[in-house]
Each structure stands twice: as structure tokens, then as C-alpha cells.
Amino acid sequence: MSKIEFGKGDLAKYPFLTEAGQYLKELDYSLAEFDEQSKMHVIERAYERIITALDGNIYRELDDLDTEVVSFLIALIMVRALGVRSVSRKYSLGEARRTEMFLEQELKHESEERMRAILTGIFNDLFSIDVIQENGKFKVKVADYLKRASYFHDNHWKLVNRTVNNGFVYLNSDETVRLIRDELTLYIYDKINKMELRQLPEAIKTKVNELRNRVVKDAEFKRYFTTTKYPPCVEHVLQVLSKGENPPHSARFLLATYMLSIGKTVDEVCNFFEAAPDYNERVTRYQVEHLTGMRGSGTKYTCPSCEKVASDNNCYRTEECDGIVNPVRFGRGRVGSGRAKPESG
């Protein structure tokens, strides 16, 4: 099948498409130009995109092509420069939700040809999922469906509650779009991490600082910066992860169960694993939920004892470990009671 070109107007809606990058090259933007007053509005727009996403909202503006495509790219640069992973994730999710909104509208109202452009250009090219139209409905292969929907929570997504026939699962337009949300998010997240940070113009640097102040003031993010003292074994896993290496299974298990038992949420625990080279959001989330007993057998897993941690070769005992038998007791003395106090902010 020949590739269907997206029109320029589409790029404002889908600025992550490779065509958008080419368009920029044609325009020959250079970053230095952003110190000029005339470009300030684009930087402001980029900032707005990020803030909207961080507030959990969808950025709905759809102005001219230049503003949308360029502000998207500047936003990627700013988020990359900020270097706070949780912000990168939230921003990616925000952009994915925006895309979802446009896709939903289009799959409901657009012409056959337009629809085909989207199904081919986004679903197939970016995420290798074949979506077939059939009498106003959409259908995808069972395997393509399960790889995604088996990780969604709602019963409504369980295969048994779908119409399934001859190897295909039937979906309406909104459901079809929802299926790729995680991949869209990852795709944008990946774009952020691939952004090159050469010499940033002052105007962008200033805006990044503004963003940093705002984000750090935000109580929710503050927690990520507060360095709590973790036991040496847990610190070690975090170090391995921060070097971008894959810790062994036993170490991941230790990290996850430790963090859950000191009161971290599933989200927070998943965040720790983001840096791992083999990171896969759906699978990680599923596994962490499994540990909490939300999934599968319902068994709640607790943090392994120091003895077990040592036998797995994950113990890095220091003086501060004195006398404890389980990493969760680290820093809380030999005896004591209650759950970990929330970290002070």
C-alpha cells in the first residue's frame, strides 16, 4: 500500500509525526532565533502546553501550523532540559491525551480517505497495529488487542466482554483510540529523551527555570526530590537503575516490595523502574500491582528479609543496618512500631 501523506494542517494536530520534523527543516528554524522577541509567543505556548499537561488537563489550542508544531518541539526541549522524569511522563501523557481527542473526533466524522490516512499513518506506521474498518465499526487482530488491553483495569476491556469473531475484536472509534494511549505516551516520552540539548538560547533557559520553580513548589513533585535515606541494598538497586542497567529480578522485587511497604503508591514505584533499559510501562505496572495483591492470586507480597536479600547477593550491609532483620526496619531502629511516616516536604 502506498504511503498516505498527511496534509500540513494535520501536523498541527499530530506534531509528533516525522513529517512535522521535515516541515521544520524546510522552515529552517534555528534555536538561536528564539532569543528574538518575535518568537516569545511560541516559547510561551510551549510553556502552556507543559503546564496544562502537568495540571492533568488537555491542551486544546489549535492555531496555525507554525505555532503548534514549533511549540511542541520547544516543549520537548524544555522538558528534556528540566530533566525530571515524572514531569516528562506527565507531559507525554498530556500530549497523548490531546492526540487521542483529535483521533476520536476524526474517526467519528471524517471521510473514508481521511480515516484510512489516520489508520495507516498512525496506527499502522507508528504502532504496527492493523485496524480494519467494517460497517462503521473497527476491528483489530486478537493478539494486537490483547497485547494492550490485557493491561487495562476495567472489566469492560476483558476479551470475554468484547465481540470477538474469526480472530478479530470489534471496537468503536473511542475504544480503538484508547488502545494506543500507552504507546503514544511512550512514543512522546521517547522523543523527549532523544532531544538534543545543545546550547540553549537564554529565552528558553529562563523559561525552564520558571518551570523548575513551579514544579518544585508543587507538593506532589517535591516528594521526588526529597532524598530519604533508603537502606543500602535498596540504594544499590536505585544506583544500578540510574546507570541505565537492568538489575536482576530479585533486586527489582526487593525495590518494589520495599517501596510499597513504606507507603509508596503503585505509580511511584513504577516510576523507579522507568530508567531500566527493558522498561515497559504496562508490564511493570502489572507486575507491581501483582505485588500489592491487586492482581492475580491476590497474595500480597512483603519485603524480603535481610537474610533473603543477602542470599540473593543483594545485601550491602553498613553499620546503619545494625541489628535489623528486614530492610523496612532500616533507620527505624531495632524495635518501633507503625508504618513509615510520610516524608516531610
Amino acid present at 23:
Y
Out of 163, 193, 228, 318, name the contact with another protein by CB under 8 A: 163
Which of another protein, ligand SF4, none does residue 232 bind (CB under 5 to 8 Å by kind)?
A: ligand SF4
Q: Which of 306, 275, 300, 305 is nearest to 288 (CA)?
A: 300
Smallest gap from Cβ 227 to ligand SF4, in A, equals 17
Do the beta carbons of residue 53 and residue 90 sit within 8 Å? Answer: yes
Closest CB to another protein among residues 165, 228: 165
Q: How far is the CB of 141 from another protein (least distance, A)?
A: 7
276 binding another protein? (CB under 8 A): no
**Binding test (CB under 6 A) with ligand SF4, winner from 233, 240, 260, 291:** 233
63/322 with CB nearer ligand SF4 = 322
Cell 537492568 belongs to 246
Partner whose binding site includes residue 21, from ligand SF4, another protein, none (CB under 5 to 8 Å by kind): none
| Binds ligand SF4 by CB under 6 A, chosen from 96, 103, 119, 315 | 315
Pairing of strands 164-165, 168-171: antiparallel
Spatial separation of the C-alpha atoms in residues 47 and 260, rounded to whole Å: 34
Stretch of residues binding ligand SF4 (CB under 6 A), selected from 57-65, 70-78, 205-213, 313-321: 313-321
- One-letter identity of residue 116: R
Q: In angstroms, give the least distance from the CB of 83 to ligand SF4.
A: 29
* Neighbour tally for 23: CB within 10 Å: 18
Q: Which does 162 bind (CB under 5 to 8 A by kind): another protein, ligand SF4, none?
A: another protein
* CA nearest to 125, candidates 255, 252, 3, 233: 3
Query: Which one, of 123, 30, 10, 121, lies nearest residue 73 by Cα?
Result: 30
Q: Which stretch binds ligand SF4 (CB under 6 A): 21-29, 91-99, 131-139, 321-329?
A: 321-329
Using N-to-C axis directions, what is the helix angle for 281-292 and 181-194, rounded to 10°? 120
DSSP conformational letter for 278: T
Residues engaged in binding ligand SF4 (CB under 6 A): 231-233, 306, 309-310, 315-317, 321, 324, 327, 330
